[in-house]
């Protein structure tokens, strides 16, 4: 009953969304306020409808209805309830429903806002969101139905939504269970964060398309979607960070980022979304980059759909991807169609998107932001080419040639270095006009301090020139950012008679975007320390040890003490755990317990490393193999990852910085439109 109910609600939701699309187009073209209002109410209704369908699916998951094919594929009796709930997005069909449900929630929230000032946007915002929801619901209703059940037909078990002739319902005794890799706490949260980021970017895109269709070329659509863009970036960033931590904890290769195609699929819209956040400030401040902003928001939406295609089509091999599916061509067709329509609208309105001022200096802040956009787009091109190269090679040569991490690292390293340099220069440049002399006078102290620190690191830590360049750029950005905090706080302190910390707090509260951005810059430099450490200085070894034997790596000594293996029938897992003692320069540091968990339901292993983490490095020990009798030995793989924990510290500060920036103080939609600039010089309040 619940399966039929859930599917029936899906069909009703699809019909209501389709009606809203038609009503919105008709109301906009005929200027019928009643039809537009009807369309708005229809879109508002889609969310509660999909919530009912989702609730039916979750009920089936947690109550072990294994006659439903999706429930059988992603759950088992041994799984705890919370994992059965998260299995909703652990498989292909459920994740598509989850995507549509989130978009319906966001669309409902948008339709509830006050539209009096922007009523001409409303029907077209509904159109874009309705088209997107219709596409995803169409995939669920017609191709990836999570409510399909097993039927016994002439002795064969077949999946169908409705009973074939002379068929009886078939219920397996147990399910396959969720992939063990997806049972990690990070993967419980990681997919929803990525989905939230993906879906959130549909809203700025919808307003951008509404602006193009209606011919409103001011920055109103940007102000309306500013907070949506920030929160989308937060969710997507959070998802990427959690994915990196998941990879570090359970994939067993001692790293956090492998330039996997599906990782890159989520990274590409993050690149364009980051460039968009920088670029919109120029339109708001100077009336420039209107073409850029439209291009970036179109690309972000297209890459969101393209990334969803990559994870669900089966065209690329990835530990993150779902299995082969017939929906791949539909995703490609939808991506191509929306991209074509968006570009056609952009070309149509191109003459109306001219800048209100001109760039007069190649070192002005707006010019440096333009260079920032170009560098982000260069990283995007490298990433996109690396992802599609296997498809291109297979098309022309018949062989699928995979592009590995060395390609990405060599191609993107100078681009990321350029972005770091811009983080150190741009905050000191002025709007409208800057010169080498004024920039040099503003940054020489920070540059000198960074140079001194780099010399100290040369004599005390490393002579690797790549690492030294990286550490210099990191230090430059940090010193410049702290200098900007101090300069602005002292200026307010003198003007208002406040103490330094009160002045700083009030200054940051008054301009969250600027100083939140500075916090994000600081956090990214902390993350860069961790990235440099693991990428350049990581050491690893592997060997088999008998009980009492030792291996050494980077000053650490690992001694194999014992191994035990036992089943836990309640959890459906067999645990195999080794115990190793760790010494550094002869001093006992403690024990680590790497293990391998074997899940009976899915018949798959999950590797859990033993970690010892400090700010200096991370000792990372993996149990690779073992003999049935522990005294006969076990095989271990050991990594020493210098500075890697700065990556996780920086990630936490990064998320705090985004939340600080996006935290509501006043509604940006209520702000007056940008007034012409009266000065080119930054002030302490900027």
pLDDT digits (tens, 9 = 90+) for 299-341: 999 999 888 887 765 555 544 444 456 787 888 889 899 999 9
DSSP state letters, 113-129: S--GGGTTTHHHHHHHH
Beta bridge partners of 451: none
DSSP state letters, 59-124: HHHHTT-TTBHHHHHH--TTS-HHHHHHGGGSSHHHHHHHHHHHHHHHHHHHHTS--GGGTTTHHH
What average pLDDT is seen over the chain? 88
Q: Which residues of the chain have pLDDT under 50?
A: 318-323, 675-686
Q: How far apart are CA 673 and CA 217, in angstroms?
A: 12
CB atoms within 10 A of CB 371: 17
Give CB contacts under 8 A, 24+ apart, made by 147-154: 147/3, 147/4, 147/6, 147/7, 147/10, 147/56, 147/57, 147/60, 147/68, 147/70, 148/68, 148/69, 148/70, 148/93, 149/3, 149/67, 149/68, 149/69, 150/67, 150/68, 150/69, 150/72
| Structure confidence at residue 672 (pLDDT) | 56
pLDDT digits (tens, 9 = 90+) for 185-212: 777 888 889 999 999 999 999 999 999 9
Q: Are 643 and 537 in contact (CB under 8 A)?
A: yes
| Structure confidence at residue 282 (pLDDT) | 87
Q: What is the dihedral of CA 595, 599, 602, 606, to 10 degrees?
A: -10
End-to-end CA distance of the chain: 60
Strands 156-160 and 168-169: unpaired
| Structure confidence at residue 186 (pLDDT) | 73
pLDDT digits (tens, 9 = 90+) for 518-530: 999 999 999 999 9
| Structure confidence at residue 312 (pLDDT) | 66
Beta bridge partners of 150: 159
Q: Name the CATH code of domain 179-357+364-381 (choices 1.20.120, 1.10.3470, 1.10.3110, 1.10.540).
A: 1.20.120
Tokens in use for 261? 């195609």
Q: Residue ranges of the domains in the chain?
A: 1-178, 179-357+364-381, 405-537+654-666, 539-645
């Amino acid at each position: 009953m619940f399966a039929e109910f859930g599917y029936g609600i899906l069909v009703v939701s699809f019909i209501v969304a389709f009606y809203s699309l038609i009503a919105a187009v008709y109301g906009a073209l005929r200027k019928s306020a009643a039809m537009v209002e009807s369309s708005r109410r229809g879109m508002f209704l889609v969310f509660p409808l999909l919530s009912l369908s989702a609730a039916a699916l979750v009920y089936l998951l947690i109550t072990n209805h294994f006659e439903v094919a999706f429930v059988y594929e992603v759950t088992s009796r041994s799984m705890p309830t919370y994992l059965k709930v998260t299995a909703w997005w652990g498989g292909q069909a459920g994740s598509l429903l989850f995507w549509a449900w989130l978009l319906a929630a966001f669309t409902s929230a948008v339709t509830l806002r006050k539209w009096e000032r922007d009523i001409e946007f409303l029907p077209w915002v509904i159109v874009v969101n309705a088209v997107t929801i219709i596409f995803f619901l169409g995939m669920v209703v017609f191709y990836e139905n999570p409510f399909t059940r097993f039927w016994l037909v002439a002795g064969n078990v077949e999946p169908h939504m409705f009973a074939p002739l002379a068929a009886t319902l078939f219920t397996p005794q147990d399910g396959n269970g969720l992939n063990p890799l997806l049972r990690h706490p990070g993967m419980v949260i990681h997919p929803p964060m990525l989905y939230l980021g993906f879906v959130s970017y549909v809203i700025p895109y919808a307003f951008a398309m509404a602006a193009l269709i209606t011919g409103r070329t001011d920055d109103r659509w940007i102000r309306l979607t500013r907070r949506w863009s920030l929160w989308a970036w937060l969710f997507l960033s959070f998802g990427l960070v959690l994915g990196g931590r998941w990879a570090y904890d359970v994939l067993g290769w001692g790293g956090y980022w492998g330039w996997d195609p599906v990782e890159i699929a989520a990274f590409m819209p993050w690149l364009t979304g980051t460039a968009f956040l920088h670029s919109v400030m120029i339109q708001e401040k100077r009336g420039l980059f209107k073409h850029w902003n439209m291009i970036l928001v179109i690309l972000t939406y297209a890459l969101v759909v393209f990334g969803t295609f990559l994870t669900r089509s089966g065209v690329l091999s990835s530990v993150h991807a779902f299995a082969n599916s017939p929906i791949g061509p539909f995703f490609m067709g939808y991506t191509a169609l929306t991209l074509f329509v968006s570009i056609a609208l952009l070309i149509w309105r191109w003459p109306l998107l001219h800048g209100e001022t001109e760039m007069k200096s190649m070192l002005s802040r707006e010019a440096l932001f333009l260079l920032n956009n170009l560098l982000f787009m260069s990283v995007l091109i490298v990433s996109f080419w690396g992802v599609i190269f296997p498809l291109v090679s297979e098309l022309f040569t018949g062989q699928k040639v995979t592009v590995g991490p060395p390609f990405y690292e060599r191609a993107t390293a100078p681009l990321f270095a350029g972005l770091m340099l811009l983080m150190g220069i741009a905050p000191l440049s002025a709007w409208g006009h800057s010169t080498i002399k004024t920039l040099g006078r503003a940054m020489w102290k920070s540059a000198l301090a960074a140079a001194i620190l780099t010399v100290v690191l040369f004599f005390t830590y490393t002579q690797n020139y790549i690492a030294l360049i990286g550490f210099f750029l990191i230090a430059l950005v940090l010193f410049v950012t702290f200098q900007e905090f101090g300069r602005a706080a002292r200026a307010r302190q003198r003007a208002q008679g406040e103490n330094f910390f009160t002045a700083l707090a009030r200054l940051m509260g008054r301009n969250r975007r600027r100083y939140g951005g500075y916090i994000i810059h600081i956090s990214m430099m902390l993350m860069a320390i961790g990235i440099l450490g693991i990428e350049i200085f990581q050491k690893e070894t592997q060997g088999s040890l008998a009980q009492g034997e030792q291996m050494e790596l980077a000053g650490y000594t690992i001694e194999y003490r014992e191994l035990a293996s036992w089943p836990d029938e309640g959890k459906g897992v067999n645990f195999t755990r080794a115990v190793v003692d760790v010494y550094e320069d002869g001093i006992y540091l403690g024990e680590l317990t790497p293990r391998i968990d074997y899940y009976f339901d899915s018949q798959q292993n999950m590797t859990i490393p033993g970690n010892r983490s400090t700010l200096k490095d991370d000792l990372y020990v993996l149990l690779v193999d073992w003999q049935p009798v522990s005294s006969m030995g076990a095989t271990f793989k050991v990594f020493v990852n210098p500075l890697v924990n700065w990556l996780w510290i920086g990630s936490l500060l990064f998320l705090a910085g985004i939340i600080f920036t996006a935290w509501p103080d006043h509604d940006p939609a209520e702000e007056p439109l940008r007034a012409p600039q009266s000065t080119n010089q930054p002030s302490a309040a900027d």
